[in-house]
Each structure stands twice: as C-alpha cells, then as structure tokens.
Structure 1
C-alpha cells in the first residue's frame, strides 16, 4: 500500500488522473500534454511509441494531490510534514523487492523524455539517488536529474556542497568511485521526503516512512548493498565514476535554462523493473516540480516561524515566486517591530528567498491579488521596506551575481499600522452574503 500504483489508484478514485491511450512520443509530445494539464490532472500514458513502459506525470501538481500523497488535508499538510520530520523512523527491510521481476543492462528501454528545445538532451527528472554517508554509515536520499549518454552511462547533476556531492567528493579523495542506487517511480511520499534537505547524517527515507505511517519497506540491492523502496517501479544501481565528466544543461524550476557545465558520469551495473512498469516524469519548471521542491521548504518555514513567533499564522511560498524565491507570512501583529523581526528570521530559514512580504490575518497569503491589496493600502516604502545587499541567494536566479552567488533581498511590511485609526483598514463586509445563491434570483 506504499507504492506508486497505490497512490495512482487513490487519485483516480478522486478523479484526479487522466489516462492517455493514444500513441505518444517521448520527444516533446508528453512534455507538451503535461504542460497543458498543469494545475489540473495527473496523466498516465499507456501507449508510448519509443518504449514498452507506461509513463505518469504531474503526480503532485496541485496542493490537493500533494495532500493525498502525505495522507493529509490541504490545510494540515505542514503539520503532517513537520510531525514526520520530527518523528522520522526507519523502515523495515525485506528480502526482495517487487522491482526484481525483470533485469536489464540497457538504459535505452526507458521512456526518457525530451522536454524543451534547447536542453542538452532527454532527462530523467524524477530520479532519487541513494548513497551511504561516509561519516555515519547511514544512507542519504536526494533528487538528481540524469541525462543518458549511451546504453550504460548517464550524466548526473549534483549541486556542490549538498549531501550526495559530499559523499562523491569523499570517495574521489580516497581514489574510489561512489556506489549509488537510483529509483524511478516511487510513492510520492518518498519523492517528497527526497526533496527535503535533511541534516547531514539523517536519512530522508525515514521521513517518508513516517509520512506512510510506518508501512514503507526497503529491499537490499546485490551490487551496492544499498536499501531502496521495495515497491519501486524502476531501480538502477552502479557507480559515479571518480574521473569522468560529461557536459549538460537543463531547464530549472524557474523555467529558465541553467548554464552549461561538466557533470560526473554514472555507470550502470544493474537495471531492475516491475512487470508492466510505470516511469515517472516531472516536467521541469511546472507545478509538480515546484511543489515537490517548495512544499517541504514551506513546511520548514511554517515550523520555524511558528516556533520563534507565536504571532505567525501561515507561511506561503508563492506561485509567482516559483514556490522558491518569494514568501508571504500571515501574522497577528502585536507590535510595530514584529514584521521586520519576522522578515529577518524568514530569510535566515531559507537562504534562497529573495522577497518576504508580511501581511495581516485578514489577507489571504495564497491570493496574489489580496497580497497586492495589502501592499496598496498598508505599505509605505520609506518606512516599511527592508533592503539587504550582497548576500547569498539562489543559484537559480538569473538576475543574481552567478559567480559570487550573491543577490539583493527585499522585505515588505504590508501590515496595518497599530498607531492609525483601525477602521481605516477594516475590510467592509455584507451580512449573510454567504447564504445568497445567485441561481435563486436569476433563472
């Protein structure tokens, strides 16, 4: 009950999954259909021209489907995420995984999608890598996109300083290749945990197990000895070569092209897959990609700010900010100094943030028009604006200093002044308007 097929059955029952039976191509066509569906439904492609595998996309492309993935309601996503992070527990290990049903050494059988016209090639965008921490011996799991080079090799994108890259550098310094495993097609709770950046030495798979109420099981792989979700659709194991790189470039979550760079090369040892397998594709820069990356951070921000400031009601990573660069914090203001303190703490909790806007309880932080209204009626630029220059920002932001990874950040206090007439800020209401049904008046 903790695999991709179980989750797909749930979203199908909720009318959130559309099935495409018509033959489709992995070159642009699947990406185009997924983009058109963005924000509405997940899609299952059953007839792919270039592969015998099936393919699913847009699995957690809305907050509703994200909530279903973590056994939650939309309004309690963050409580569930915070609880799972705090109470992470190790999954059980069983003797054999369902993915052991088939075996190959040919990567070309996979339906790897070509998404955008100027990318360096097709990419696996849902791949989660598993490696052993050299200091603690525990595993780490994290997202890493991969581009096929030939039938047994991929380039693998690693951000410098992140956990997998640290493991790779340690192996390289010891003159060794780094053994890793890769999964494609897992329950979204595993993907969500894999997108979360846990502390060094912590295993994100434990968070996934907590999200799945302790029911996740792992199976051990023969070459690497690593443990991966037993219900995974596709599993690869092999090694990242210490002395080889390959050039690549890709579209990031801002829907912009990253710059060209050489990346390490993964060499395949074994490819396992289930009968009638399902490949998972994430369309870069669209809603599923942004929610997978942004929602765990949004949960972290909600936890950090509510712990530090009881005034905090809700934190939202905005759609316009790509669920990564902009945040809106809703508070119950107690003093005039609250907003600026909260702005400072929000930037500290997620260094990629470029803009933080603080609003009152009557402003919906998920509604861009409502937030702009707060700015129009409650914000004075000469007093309520915070500018921070030359600080570490997001490497994804093309407007920043890409060499130094520095940016300027802006905090906006769009809350009501406590020294001014409160009636001047009160939103007027019409009594009993919720009980009026227009169909009763216009027939």
Structure 2
C-alpha cells in the first residue's frame, strides 16, 4: 500500500485500509485481475467478509490499484465512524454504536479547514482520459463499466451552498459518462437550476476517500446542509478541503482521484444498472457528464463498490437507519432500535423494537417509519425481548404474538421505491404492509414469556465435552 504519512492526520482511505490490515480485516490480491467481471466475481466471494485490495488490475491505465468491500460489514462501518479500532460485539450493539456516532456527528457538525495554498495531494498527477481509470464492469447485462464509489460535489446556483452526494456513472467514452440522478434529490435540484438558466453544471467527483466522507454523502441531510460538515464531525475535525482549479469546488484534500467537468444541460444517454436489490433497473435517460480534467495521487487507489452487495447496501441503509430511529423515537419514545433487514436489501424492510406501553404504539411506530423512509415497503414492530437483527426471532414474534386481522396494516397505492420490480415502477406506487408483532397487553405478560435456563449464558461447552463440538 502506498505511504500514507502525508494523509491529513490519518483521515484518508489509505490510513483506513492500513487499520483494516492490522486488524485482519483486509485481504490483498496480488494476482492480476480483469476489470470486466473478474474483479466483481472475486469481491462477491468476500461479501460480508474482509475488505479486498487488488494490487494489479489488467485494464487500469495509469491507475491499477483497486479497493473494494471497504465498508462491507457493520463492524467496519463503525470503525469508519469512530476512533475505536474494533466494533462492539454483536450486530445489534454495533448498529446501536453506529447510530450513536451518527447522532453525535449531526449534533456536532463543524466546518472543515479549507485551503487554497499549495498543491492538494490529488494534484500530483493529471490526465484527460477516463480510460486511465480502472472502471469496473460488474454484471453480464450491464450497460457498460460503472464508477460506483463516486462522491459528486456541486454548488446550488440558487442558495450558493455546496452539496455532496453519491452517484453512479456509466463510462461512455474517454470523455463522457452518463450520471444517474434521482429526480427531486439535491444534485438533481442543482442540475435543474443550472439547466433552467441555460448553463451546464460544473462538478467535481471524488473517488477514493475516507469512508466517513462516503457515509456523510449518503446521509439524507436536509437540503442546504453541507454534508462535509457531517464528515468532519465523524473524522473528529481532521477533514481538510482543497479548492479545485476548474470547478472551484472544495473537495477532500486526501482524495485519491478527482474527476472534474460539467453535467451537460442538453445531452442525455440511456443507461441501466444493477441496484440494491441485485436486480436490473429499467432503462432511463440520464444526463451526460463531460470530462475537463482527471487528477490523482501518486500510487492512487481506486474504490469500487459492488452493486447490490453488502458494502453498497450498508452505505445506503445504515445512515437511513439512524435517521429512521430518530424519527420513530420522536413518535414512540420507547423505541429501542430500527433495523433495515438484509432480506429487504437493507432498504425495503425494517424491524422496529419498542418497549410497549399502550396497544396503539406499534401502529404509530409503523406510520412513523413509512414517513421517515418513503422507500420502505414493510415494517415489523417487535417487543424489547426480541432481537430485531435475528430473522428467526422476528419470525417467532410474528408467529406467536400477531393476529393478522388486528396486527396487519395494509396501505395500497402508496409512494414507494422505484427499485422494487413488483411495484408500479413508473408511477412509484406500491402496497405497504406494517405488522404489529408485539404481545398484547390485554393478556398477562407471562403468557408470552420466553423460557430461560438459569446460568445458560455462563456455560462453556468445552468444560463438559471432550470431543470437538460442531
């Protein structure tokens, strides 16, 4: 791995990868691999396991090192948001710690240091050819090679504030990429304002940043909030921004790669991609980005996210979980946890854990969850003795504590996710369901008590059995 002694006091991708390697969370791949399918296939084998660093990709151009699955587990996600070297034990406790860190960052947002003097780290090398990047083709029916870990910086022409958000880009040729933008989201608002005023939108795209920057860019902050203030809080004030030459935008000084150019006001390109559900999205016409300059550090590390796999889902889902928790807790104060499930691709299905006081509270929690995360399709509410991260325990709660005629809430023709292939994707309509899987308080609590064996947690099986226990 390239030397990181110059790395913004440790707040860069390189220092994070070094930490992962020390903790046994990183695997190096020395064998040359192709960016067409082979790299993605290797990463898929490490899904929810170690991060992967490819030291030599075959079609890399001037950049041939690729990192992937960087935040592919809740534990590594937590390490990216905290100075702690390891996460708490258990998914539920880790997610609780992540939620706490995100809440602390939102409460303690601070402006990063901005510098205009001297060369930024990413200005050590330059190019004007997108083929110098090891952009990956992931799936057999992909429209082409997609840059998937791209944090896009733009300025809102109306308010003059800077916005950052994560977008995938399809390489069309050496100068152009189609950029996926969701209508109504912040970058699309910036683009629409520029287009209405007859202008292209200048942008700077960072690839290869500290994961805290990616996490902040994925957080659905209110319009007008500079996400880099969240990133700076997550990095405990260590984030340093540098002003780019062409777009005049402030981007992380430690960025491995900066791609500058403009989103053209009058050109679109049809594209399609694999989304969080690991299904192909329908074809959409999206705006086209035109390259002005490509800048990169010595020994630059390109970051690739495998669409639909754990890193993609966690980077999108965990910040939303934190937002949902705050919203639901404001409605039901005894809310203990909100968990976007793996089975719902960390996006469509949630389990909400509450300490129930009144019969109507679970339904209030369900409605609050749908309001907080409009893409949510299913919300299940469980008691505080049910682990929301344990799918078997949640199913047990539905099976033993729910009666469908009283516990199910069905909401037809509601706004949902365009990603769900079973929904009306063109009109964004879906049927949502909420499940009250909490024990009724109209019966004695003992009727629902799960039997326990005293001392069970303290038993070490190896003290009792001489042969190896499977």
Q: Distance in 2 between matches of 1:200 and 1:135?
A: 12
1:168 to 2:191 alignment:
yes
Partner of 1:92: 113
Is 1:11 the equivalent of 2:11?
Answer: no
Task: Summarize deviations over 1:297-355 as a string: whole Å, max 9, x none.
Answer: 00011112223322111111111111111111111100111111111111111111101
Q: CA deviation at 1:259?
A: 0.8
Whether 2:33 is the aligned partner of 1:33: answer no
Deviation larger for 44-53 or 21-30:
44-53
How far 1:49 moved relative to its partner?
A: 1.1
State the TM-score, normalizing by the size of structure 1.
0.98
- Structure 2 distance, partners of 1:390, 1:366, is 29
Aligned to 1:369: 392
Off by >3 Å, runs of 4+ in structure 1? none
Shift of 1:86: 2.8
Give the distance between the partners of 1:314 and 1:240, measured in 2 at CA: 40
CA displacement at 1:89 relative to structure 2:
1.4
Residue number among 125, 134, 137 corresponding to 1:111 in the alignment: 134
Structure 2 match to 1:347: 370
Kindly state the Cα deviation for residue 53 of structure 1 after the two structures are TM-superposed. Answer: 2.1
CA contact (8 A) 2:27 2:51 kept: yes
Matched, 1:68 2:79: yes
Q: Deviation digits for residues 270-318 of structure 1, max 9, x if unmatched?
A: 1000001100000000000000000000001111222332211111111
Does residue 82 (structure 1) correspond to residue 103 (structure 2)? The answer is yes
| More moved, 290-299 vs 260-269 | 260-269
Q: What is the match of residue 237 of structure 2? A: 214
Q: Does 1:129 align with 2:139?
A: no
2:65 to 44, 54, 65: 54
What is the match of residue 179 of structure 2?
156
> Does residue 242 of structure 1 match 2:251?
no
Shift of 1:367: 0.6
Q: CA–CA distance in 1 between the matches of 2:408 and 2:244?
A: 54
Task: Kindly state the Cα deviation for residue 369 of structure 1 after the two structures are TM-superposed.
Answer: 0.4
Give the structure 1 partner of residue 426 of structure 2.
Answer: 403
Q: Does 1:2 align with 2:11?
A: yes
RMSD, matched Cα: 1.0
Alignment partners' CA distance in 1, 2:109 and 2:418:
30
**Which deviates more from structure 2 when the two are superposed, residues 183-192 or residues 72-81?**
72-81
SS of equivalent to 1:345: helix
Matched, 1:183 2:192: no
Measure, in 2, the Cα distance between the counterparts of 1:237 and 1:403.
Answer: 32
